[in-house]
Amino acid sequence: MSEPTRRSVLKTGVFFACCGISHVRLARAQSSPVEALPVKEITGGVFAFAGRPEMMAANNEGEICNVSFIIGDEAVAVIDSGGSVAEGRQLVAAIRARTDKPIRYLINTHMHPDHIFGNAAFGETGAIVVGHHNLPRALTARGDYYLQSYRDAMGSELMADIRIIPPTKLITGEEQLDLGNRKLTLKAWKTAHTDNDLTIFDEQSGTFFTGDLCFIEHLPTMDGSLLGWIAQLEELKGIKATFAVPGHGPVPSAWPQALGQEQRYFDALARDIRKAIADGVPMAEAVKTAAESERNNWRLFDEYNVRNATAAFAELEWE
């Protein structure tokens, strides 16, 4: 047995430093009043803001996903904090423009930066951060990478306040939260969009908050399991909701029709990739043409399709 060489050490280096320890800066003094996020009341006590179908960038302050809040008799629950602390603060301002009730819960639907980068804005509200039981693990593995990799697109000013804040209340299976005569049913799903997808159902209004399990217009992104996502579409459709707030797309959207677009894309992607694998086409070639028939149906197709195809290829090879 040989002693470990410098070379062996070079192979066991470390990908991610732990999250949250770097670049912590005190929040800016909030002397100037923060503008409220232009949310709309989609039904009694349920407010949502529709993000833009774009990549996160300095000029959109990361406001690309849908964020929402629900007001009960006693308290407020927020669903996703947005893609920057700036957006998160505007969301807090939008809530405060409508109610003085305490913000009891900040629910993160999953790990992606557009949904969690605003968490630090809720630090002073005392909200309990709620997430899928896999979310802390996912953020540990990715947090520092996210903080680094968005710096170019978002700019250092927006990034300065952003911190990775993992949930402290973890959801396994199904669990209810009560806002005072208003019960929310949270459900932790098996791996689909990510391995930490959480949905929220508001019984009172019949509103279903899908997180990124539902994409409309914005091409779905694959960061979990294509097969897992497809396999859970039927169960998703079975949720007896009046309408949905998707992770990306129009607010509100008809349910379960909201799932139609992504289902068609998944089918095309899986079909093309399966054929390539069967024909022995290497991954690098196959991903160039997979799901090409879907190009004109989506925004951000060029930004995400090859990546989705790559992940799908690696997964479907094991079938």
Indicate which single residue of 128, 228, 233, 316 sits in contact with other proteins (rule: CB under 8 A): 228
State the minimum distance, in angstroms, from the CB of residue 127 to other proteins.
Answer: 20
Question: Of 247, 262, 13, nearest to 115 (Cα)?
Answer: 247
10 binds other proteins (CB under 8 A): yes
d(CA 202, CA 186): 9
Which is closer to other proteins, CB of 130 or CB of 287? 287
d(CA 52, CA 54): 6
Q: Which of these segments, 29-37, 233-241, 242-250, 293-301, binds Zn ion (CB under 5 A)?
A: 242-250
State the minimum distance, in angstroms, from the CB of residue 261 to other proteins.
Answer: 21
Compute the half-sphere exposure of residue 103: CA atoms within 13 Å on the CB side of its CA.
Answer: 28
d(CA 148, CA 151): 6
List the single partner that 93 binds among other proteins, Zn ion, none, CB under 5 to 8 Å by kind: none
- Buried/exposed code over 158-170 (b: 16+ C-beta within 10 A; e: otherwise): bbbbbbbbbbeeb
Compute the half-sphere exposure of residue 32: CA atoms within 13 Å on the CB side of its CA.
Answer: 6
List the single partner that 97 binds among other proteins, Zn ion, none, CB under 5 to 8 Å by kind: none
Indicate which single residue of 11, 26, 38, 173 sits in contact with other proteins (rule: CB under 8 A): 11
d(CA 133, CA 41): 30
Which is closer to other proteins, CB of 53 or CB of 228? 228
List the single partner that 212 binds among other proteins, Zn ion, none, CB under 5 to 8 Å by kind: Zn ion
264 binds other proteins (CB under 8 A): no
Q: Which of these segments, 12-20, 87-95, 244-252, 262-270, binds other proteins (CB under 8 A)?
A: 12-20
> Is the distance from CB of 71 to CB of 45 less than 8 angstroms?
yes
Q: Which of these segments, 8-16, 62-70, 94-102, 162-170, binds Zn ion (CB under 5 A)?
A: 62-70
Q: Which of residues 174-193 bind other proteins (CB under 8 A)?
A: 191
Q: How many residues bind Zn ion (CB under 5 A)?
A: 5
DSSP lists the bridge partners of residue 3 as none
